[in-house]
Each structure stands twice: as C-alpha cells, then as structure tokens.
Amino acid sequence: MYGSNVSADGLQHVSTLNFGDPFRKHEMHCRFKQKPPWPWLAITTSIGILVIAYLVGYIFHATVNRIAKVEDDYNKMMELKKKAEAADVAKSQFLATVSHEIRTPMNGVLGMLHMLMDTDLDVTQQDYVRTAQGSGKALVSLINEVLDQAKIESGRLELDAVQFDLRAILDDVLSLFSGKSQEKGVELAVYISDRVPEMLIGDPGRFRQIITNLMGNSMKFTEKGHIFVTVHLVEEVIGSTEVETSSENTLSGFPVTDRCSSWKGFKAFSQEGSTFPLSPPSDSINLIVSVEDTGVGIPPEAQSRVFTPFMQVGPSISRIHGGTGIGLSISKCLVGLMNGEIGFVSIPKTGSTFTFTAVFTNGCSNPNEYKSHKINNQSNSASTEFQGMTALVVDPRPVRAKVSRYHIQRLGISVEVVSDLNQGWSNISSGNGAIDIVLVEQEVWDRDSHLSSLFINNFKKIDRRTPPKLFILANFISTSRTSATTSGDNTPSIIMKPLRSSMLAASLQRAMGVGSKGNARNRELPALRNLLLGRKILIIDDNNVNLKVAAGALKKYGAEVECADSGKKAVSLLKPPHCFDACFMDIQMPEMDGFEATKLIREMEKHGETSVEAYDNVSNWHVPILAMTADVIQATHEECLKCGMDGYVSKPFEAEQLYREVSRFFQSVPNGNL
C-alpha cells in the first residue's frame, strides 16, 4: 500500500475521499503496484485469429488465382488442340489429295509402259521397260499404303462384305511369293484347317493385304528354313495351350518360336474374357491366322515399336529391304476393323511368329443374300477329275506331311502318309488300297540314291495295268542329283513347292493325262469362252498363215470359224441373209482392202433390208466387223470407224484386247444368231 515500488505506467486513479473533515482534503491515489501481466491468452487468441484469417484469405486468393490460371491454360489448350486437330485433318487431306494427284499420272506412266511392252522391242529395251515397270509398281504400292494410312486416321476406311474363298486367296498370295522363296531357298507352306468353311463373307482384298504384309515381312527377314502360314478356327486352338514345337517337329527342321505366346495377350482369349461369348452367333466364323518364320527375329528393344507407323527396326532396314514401315500399322488397323487382334512373338536368331484373329460370317449358307463375287474357284473343276484316287506321301516330317496332305485332299484324292521309302513300298505292294500316285519328299529321295533307284525298279515290276505315278516334291531346282539315279519310263516328275492345288492339279494332269487338255487351258479365260462359244465367226485375211493362226485362236474359245482370203469373198459371204455372228477383217489386202469391203457390206445391209424376209424378225442387219491390224495407230482407228467397222484388234490376237472388243457386242450367255 505504501511504498515506492509502483509500476511506472502512469496509471493512477485519484479518488476524493470525504471523511467529513472540512479542513483537509483527502485524496486516494490508486496506482498499480505491479505491471499487469501480458494478457497472453488474449494475445495468443487474437494472433491466432489473425493468422487464421490471413491464411484463409491467402487460400482464397490463391484458389482464385489458380482457377483463373487453370481456366486460362484450359482455353489455351483448347485452342492448341483445335489447331492440332485441324493440322492433323489437313495433313490427312493433304496426303490424300496429293497422293491422288500423284497416283493419276503414275497410272498413266504404268499404262504407257504396259503398252510399250506390247510393241517391238529388243531384249535390252524390254529389260529396261521391265525395270521401269517394277519401280513404277513399287511407287504405286507405296502411295496406296500412304493413302490407306490417311484413310484409317480419318476413320474413313470401310470393309467390304462379299463372298470369297479363303483357300483361293492364300493360293494367290503363295504364287506371289513362290518365285522369291525358291530363289532364297526358303520353304513356303500353307495349311488351312478343314473346319474353315469354303466360302466366307468379308473383305477379301484387305484380308489379302494383311497376309501379304506379314508374309512379305517374313520373306524379307528370312534367309533359311521356312515360312509357314496356318489358318484355324479359334475354337480349335483355344483349348490347346501347347503346340508341339520341339526342334525336329517343325516344317523345315529349324527351331521356331512358340506360337502360343503370340496370342497369349489377346483379350478375346483371356480367362476373364466376358467379351468373348462362349456361344457366338452361329453364322460368325472366328479365324486365327499365324505366319511363322525362321528368320532373324526382332530385337527386344524394337519389339514395342513394331506396330508404330513409319518405325523400322534400324535405319538401315529401309535401305536394305525397302518399304516404309507402314505395313504393320495398317495391318493392325485392318485387323481391328475385322474385330480381331494381332500379336507376335519373336526370338532373335530363331524367328518370329505373327498371329492375328478376324471375324467373318459363314458364306456357305446364304449365297443369294450377298454379292456373290466368286474369285475363280479352280479346285472345283479339278476335284471331279481326281475324285476317288489315292495318293501316298513319303515324308518323315509330320508338319510338312500334313501340309502336303491338305493340298492333295483339296483335289478329292485321299492321302496316306508314311515316313520312309521302305514303309512306302510295303504300302504299295500290300495292295489293300490301290495307290495311284506316290509323292516323295526330295530329301528322302536324295538321302539314299540306292534305295530310290531300287524303288523305281520295283515300280516296273508291279503287276498292275497302270503302275502308280511317281513324283518328287522339290523345294529348289536341283538338277544333277535326280538325273543320275533315274532311268526308264517311270522317271519321276518333279513338282515344285510351294504346293498349290491348281498347280498340283496341272502337274498331275500332265503326267497322268487325266482330263482333256482343252479344259485345262480354257480355265484361264472362261470369260472369253463364255462370249464366243458356239458363235459363227468369219475371218478374212489374204495371208494363210495368219488365217490359220487366227482361226486356231478363235476355235480355242469354242467358236465356229470360217475363213476366206479376199475382200470380194467377204462381201459375197456377208450378203444378208447370213448366219455369221461376227467378222474379223484384215485391212491390207490386194484388190479389195478391208475398208472397201466393209463399206460395201454396210451398203448391202442398208439397202438389202427391204428385200429380205424378216430373218428371225430382225430388220436392221449389222454384223459386227472388227479390223485386224498389225499397226494399231489412231489414224487406223478413225479410218475403221469411218467406213463402218465396229472396232479393231491387233494381229496376232492379244487375249485381253480381244475380250474387250468382243464383249462390246456379245453377251456372256451365248444364244445362237444375232
């Protein structure tokens, strides 16, 4: 209370005191003794609140900023995205337009080269033209690939739905590569399972594109061993997780990659795959195709890039092998469009196996609903000729034997397989099934020349009317070996691999004389035969060699031919009424040339109609007259038309041109006169 230890904060409260004393004024001074403690609580609280408020404010601020920034970025991105898309579209369009612009003159160049080939050229010139054609075709296929890529990117690629024969397509692709494979010494084989139906509905062109691409790649990178293409139904393969790929059991004896690994990753096959219905619509056929090769393989670093467009394994690949690297990416897109998947497995130095699936519909049940665009099914006509025959195949490798059996069975011949010559001989001599044809793999034949000559000698001793015919299935053209061991009538003929039913049928026919040769040749141009069968045709030429050749050519297509060697005779023969369906007239003839004769004939037709009784109720006679000329120049064409001719063909006949001209006035169904 009293004292001087007061806090000097100047706070003082003075109170007046009134004790009731009139003479003293009392005051009470109240002062703090001690300094007030800091009001920690208040301070902390308020600081806390301040801080919190500051933070909250800051958060708001930052958020608003952020939102603004993000919106900004978003707007920028949208713009950029639009620009990128526009650029992409523009690029595709540019590619498409430019490619189209390039394609047109390119086709012109190729067309001209084709026509140049038909003119008189010496060997060097022909060689040059062929080279130019090859380069031109390569360029066109490159442009087509790029166009495809552009179409796919812009989503404009559509698949056809026509009926086609899978086996015929693979035959075609095989023949495309057979020359190259024989050159390189690589064995080529195709096997299609029996469960795959004869006709399918889908896009044959694109399917062929995928297979050609895969086989082309295999061909590029394989120098030894084999390339083996197999087609199965997915149902057949989905159960078997192991395929026998032990080293000795492959097509050529070289080790291969395990094909099952190539489809391991397919979504359709995964266990949880609910996308793959166990009972698909009954009409749909789910195919799985594998292309297996024993080439150099793909190095692991490159394997992830395989399907990226324009990527190739190394910069030198395009230099060595050509190609742009778009093939696989296009194949991938096409496979996707066919509701399938594509995958591969590759081991460097062993080989690669590419596998893809595709969904088609069964073409056999409703042939009328879809456009029946049948690619010529040659095996049909061949199978009737060989129906019921039996063949024996001698081949120690089961995979290869399976392929041979498949191709032979396509011709309607039943097949037995044995693995060496001794067994084969016991099969033939035991005679429980009369064997008509024996096919021996070349390696078996070459392995033991003594055994093979014994084999041939035994053949002669077979007590039968027609001993079985012997063939050797050869991969490469080896001349020396076979000639040394063979003698006598039963010289085995050689059938070159890769096996194709059509070629097999032709070789068998040649050796066995089965079926009329006329049919074999006419198979090539059924169209011309349809047009000309039974037609009466008059040929006028003063050169009797030309007459004979032209007559022979037309007779081949089934036409009835009459010949005359002067314009005068032509005029008298073609005086209405007559029963000729058409006339081929040589232009340059002595006395009366082709033009004059035609003019006279046309006059006769015009004036003669009134005096002629309606022949088959035809009032306007106009027999189609085609000029035969060795000089096919524009001037001649105009002359021909001027005097009333209907067209011209070159001398000697060229099948395509003949067909073009004749199809202008003949319908495909021959129906007698005019």
Partner 1 sequence: MEVGQMQRRLIEYTKSLFMEGILDDQFLQLQQLQDESNPDFVVEVVSLFFQDAERLLNDITSALDQQSVDFPKVDAHVHQLKGSSASVGAQRVKNGCIAFRNFCEEQNVDGSLRCLQQIKQEYYHVKNKLEALFRLEQQIVAAGGSVPMMELSF
Measured from the CB atom, the residue of 372 and 486 that comes closer to partner 1 is: 486
Q: Does 542 bind partner 1 (CB under 8 A)?
A: yes
The count of other CB atoms within 10 Å of the CB of residue 555 is 13
Measured from the CB atom, the residue of 516 and 572 that comes closer to partner 1 is: 516
Dist CA 234 CA 94 (whole Å): 41
In the complex, the smallest distance separating the C-beta of residue 586 from partner 1, rounded to whole angstroms, is 8
Q: Does 509 bind partner 1 (CB under 8 A)?
A: no
Measured from the CB atom, the residue of 511 and 618 that comes closer to partner 1 is: 511
Q: Transcribe 133-156 into DSSP letters.
A: HHHHHHHHHHHHHHHHHHHHHTT-
Measured from the CB atom, the residue of 545 and 635 that comes closer to partner 1 is: 545
Measured from the CB atom, the residue of 552 and 577 that comes closer to partner 1 is: 552
In sign, the C-alpha dihedral spanning 105, 110, 114, 119 is positive
Name, in order, each residue with C-beta under 8 angstroms of 667's C-beta and a sequence gap of 6 or more. Answer: 531
Give φ, ψ of 245 to 5 degrees.
Answer: -125, 40
- The DSSP bridge pattern shows strands 647-650 and 26-31 to be unpaired
Write out the binding residues for partner 1, residues 613-632 only, by CB under 8 A.
630
Q: Does 463 bind partner 1 (CB under 8 A)?
A: no
In the complex, the smallest distance separating the C-beta of residue 552 from partner 1, rounded to whole angstroms, is 4
Q: What residues are paired with 563 via a beta bridge?
A: 539
Part of the chain binding partner 1 (CB under 8 A), chosen from 147-155, 166-174, 388-396, 515-523? 515-523
Question: DSSP class of residue 357?
Answer: E
Q: Which of 177, 169, 234, 229 shows the shortest CA–CA distance to 204?
A: 169
Q: Does 552 bind partner 1 (CB under 8 A)?
A: yes
In the shown chain, the binding pattern of residues 198 to 227 toward partner 1, with x for contact by CB under 8 A and - for none, equals ------------------------------
Among 106, 454, 549, 612, binds partner 1 (CB under 8 A): 549
- Return the structure tokens found at 111: 């067309």
In the complex, the smallest distance separating the C-beta of residue 553 from partner 1, rounded to whole angstroms, is 6
Q: Does 513 bind partner 1 (CB under 8 A)?
A: yes
Any idea how long the chain is? 674
In the complex, the smallest distance separating the C-beta of residue 547 from partner 1, rounded to whole angstroms, is 9
Q: Does 477 bind partner 1 (CB under 8 A)?
A: no
Measured from the CB atom, the residue of 109 and 553 that comes closer to partner 1 is: 553
In the complex, the smallest distance separating the C-beta of residue 475 from partner 1, rounded to whole angstroms, is 17
Q: Which of 439, 447, 356 shows the shortest CA–CA distance to 400?
A: 439
> H or E segment at 284?
strand 284-293
Measured from the CB atom, the residue of 470 and 600 that comes closer to partner 1 is: 470
Write out the binding residues for partner 1, residues 85-144 only, by CB under 8 A.
120, 122-123
- The DSSP bridge pattern shows strands 469-474 and 437-441 to be parallel
Dist CA 78 CA 85 (whole Å): 10
- Return the structure tokens found at 76: 């920028």
In the complex, the smallest distance separating the C-beta of residue 293 from partner 1, rounded to whole angstroms, is 25
Query: In whole angstroms, what separates CA 457 from the centre of its chain?
Result: 46
Name, in order, each residue with C-beta under 8 angstroms of 564's C-beta and a sequence gap of 6 or more. Answer: 538, 539, 540, 570, 573
Angle CA 132–134–140, to nearest 5: 100
**What is the radius of gyration, based on Cα positions, of the chain?**
43
Angle CA 106–112–113, to nearest 5: 90
In the shown chain, the binding pattern of residues 177 to 196 toward partner 1, with x for contact by CB under 8 A and - for none, equals --x-----------------
Half-sphere exposure of 61 (CA within 13 A, CB side): 6
Part of the chain binding partner 1 (CB under 8 A), chosen from 219-227, 366-374, 431-439, 516-524? 516-524
Measured from the CB atom, the residue of 25 and 555 that comes closer to partner 1 is: 555
Part of the chain binding partner 1 (CB under 8 A), chosen from 213-221, 268-276, 359-367, 546-554? 546-554
How far is residue 50 from each of residues 59, 64, 110, 669, measured CA to CA in Å?
14, 21, 86, 102
Part of the chain binding partner 1 (CB under 8 A), chosen from 9-17, 336-344, 417-425, 480-488? 480-488
Part of the chain binding partner 1 (CB under 8 A), chosen from 70-78, 150-158, 459-467, 647-655? 647-655
Measured from the CB atom, the residue of 88 and 591 that comes closer to partner 1 is: 591
Measured from the CB atom, the residue of 603 and 654 that comes closer to partner 1 is: 654
How far is residue 340 from each of residues 16, 150, 343, 379, measured CA to CA in Å?
108, 21, 10, 29
Measured from the CB atom, the residue of 49 and 484 that comes closer to partner 1 is: 484
Q: Does 572 bind partner 1 (CB under 8 A)?
A: no
Part of the chain binding partner 1 (CB under 8 A), chosen from 165-173, 393-401, 488-496, 638-646? 488-496
Count of chain residues binding partner 1 (CB under 8 A): 35
In the complex, the smallest distance separating the C-beta of residue 178 from partner 1, rounded to whole angstroms, is 10
In the complex, the smallest distance separating the C-beta of residue 627 from partner 1, rounded to whole angstroms, is 14
- Return the structure tokens found at 173: 């692709």
Part of the chain binding partner 1 (CB under 8 A), chosen from 2-10, 228-236, 381-389, 543-551? 543-551
- The DSSP bridge pattern shows strands 414-418 and 284-293 to be unpaired
Q: Which of 17, 40, 47, 43 shows the shortest CA–CA distance to 30?
A: 17
In the complex, the smallest distance separating the C-beta of residue 520 from partner 1, rounded to whole angstroms, is 9
Dist CA 600 CA 581 (whole Å): 18
In the complex, the smallest distance separating the C-beta of residue 488 from partner 1, rounded to whole angstroms, is 7
Q: Does 491 bind partner 1 (CB under 8 A)?
A: yes
Among 204, 331, 651, 661, binds partner 1 (CB under 8 A): 651
Angle CA 490–493–496, to nearest 5: 160
Question: DSSP class of residue 615?
Answer: B
Among 240, 457, 478, 516, binds partner 1 (CB under 8 A): 516
Residue burial 116-132, b: 16+ Cβ < 10 Å; e: rest: eeeeeeeeeeeeebeeb
Q: Does 553 bind partner 1 (CB under 8 A)?
A: yes
Dist CA 389 CA 436 (whole Å): 6
Question: DSSP class of residue 119?
Answer: S
Are the beta carbons of 437 and 391 closer than 8 angstroms?
A: yes
Part of the chain binding partner 1 (CB under 8 A), chosen from 90-98, 209-217, 379-387, 513-521? 513-521
In the shown chain, the binding pattern of residues 340 to 379 toward partner 1, with x for contact by CB under 8 A and - for none, equals ----------------------------------------
In the complex, the smallest distance separating the C-beta of residue 545 from partner 1, rounded to whole angstroms, is 4
Among 422, 588, 657, 663, binds partner 1 (CB under 8 A): 588
Question: DSSP class of residue 583?
Answer: E
Please name the amino acid found at residue 540: I
Are the beta carbons of 601 and 625 closer than 8 angstroms?
A: yes
Among 39, 488, 526, 534, binds partner 1 (CB under 8 A): 488
Binding residues for partner 1 (CB under 8 A):
120, 122-123, 179, 483, 486-489, 491, 510, 513, 516-518, 521, 541-546, 548-550, 552-553, 555-556, 588, 590, 630, 651-653
